[in-house]
């Protein structure tokens, strides 16, 4: 197997937006390491689909908030493909509840996955990504929509945005960009689960483009940041069809 010129790690890459990102980067010729939390069947399916297209791809299980597990993911990326150039951190969880009713154990789980997980992945990325590379985190347009029920999730994503802006400036001189993509409502299982058809239709009508995003819409923005968008750095890109 030839050594690819560029290599990406995509956390949460077995499902939803993460899977579409993995596929999109593979189409650009990157070797892709898919990190997944626990759904091995979904990860194996993603690997099979990408391998069938001729892509170089590897799936590795790892909890994003566990620094030892994630170090192993980066180690395997380097051992298999020779290095790491792009890290796209898509993994996250989104339990919903009014702030007054939220079980604090759930809050702790959200903060562990979404905040600590981003910190762990970014810390490893800083140490491993080669010059000319890119780190892409994921926030959410909920930080501006401010919808009821999203207090824990929105707070965690606000932290991601702060980390991104600071880290971009800490990497002065490294030729590595750091940005965050903040999607609006996107047609993934995580967004659609538990919502009525009426609510989904109402939310879909909000953007001027009058539809939900598809995962591919978000993946195109990531591919730009991971590739030609070198002069975009230290930014939060709200990718929501103009809803805000």
Catalogue the active-site residues.
153
* Nearest alpha-carbon partner for 239 in 231, 220, 227: 220
Residue 112 Cα distances to 40, 62, 131, 147, 202, angstroms: 22, 14, 29, 22, 32
Which DSSP letter does residue 99 get? G
Q: Is 15 helix (H, G, I), strand (E, B) or coil?
A: coil
* Nearest alpha-carbon partner for 140 in 243, 224, 64: 243
* Nearest alpha-carbon partner for 18 in 52, 56, 54, 50: 50
The runs of H, that is alpha helices, within 29-103 are 40-52, 67-81
């Amino acid at each position: 197997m030839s050594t690819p010129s560029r290599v990406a790690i995509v956390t949460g890459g077995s499902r939803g937006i993460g899977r579409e990102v993995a596929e999109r980067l593979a189409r650009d010729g990157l070797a892709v390491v898919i990190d997944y939390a626990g759904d091995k069947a979904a990860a194996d399916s993603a690997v099979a689909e990408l391998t069938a297209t001729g892509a170089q791809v590897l799936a590795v299980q790892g909890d994003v908030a566990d620094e030892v597990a994630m170090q192993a993911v980066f180690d395997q990326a380097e051992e298999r493909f020779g290095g790491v150039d792009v890290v796209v951190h898509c993994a996250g969880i989104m339990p919903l509840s009014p702030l007054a009713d939220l079980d604090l154990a759930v809050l702790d789980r959200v903060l562990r996955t979404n905040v600590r997980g981003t910190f762990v992945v970014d810390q490893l990325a800083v140490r491993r990504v080669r010059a000319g590379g890119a780190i892409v985190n994921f926030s959410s347009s909920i930080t501006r929509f401010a919808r009821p029920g999203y207090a824990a999730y929105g707070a965690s994503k606000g932290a991601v945005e702060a980390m991104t802006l600071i880290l971009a400036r800490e990497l002065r001189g490294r030729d590595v960009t750091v940005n965050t993509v903040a999607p609006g409502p996107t047609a993934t299982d995580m967004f659609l689960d538990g919502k009525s058809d009426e609510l989904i239709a109402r939310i879909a009508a909000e953007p001027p483009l009058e539809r939900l995003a598809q995962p591919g819409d978000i993946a195109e923005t990531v591919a730009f940041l991971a590739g030609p968008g070198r002069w975009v750095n230290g930014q939060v890109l709200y990718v929501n069809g103009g809803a805000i």
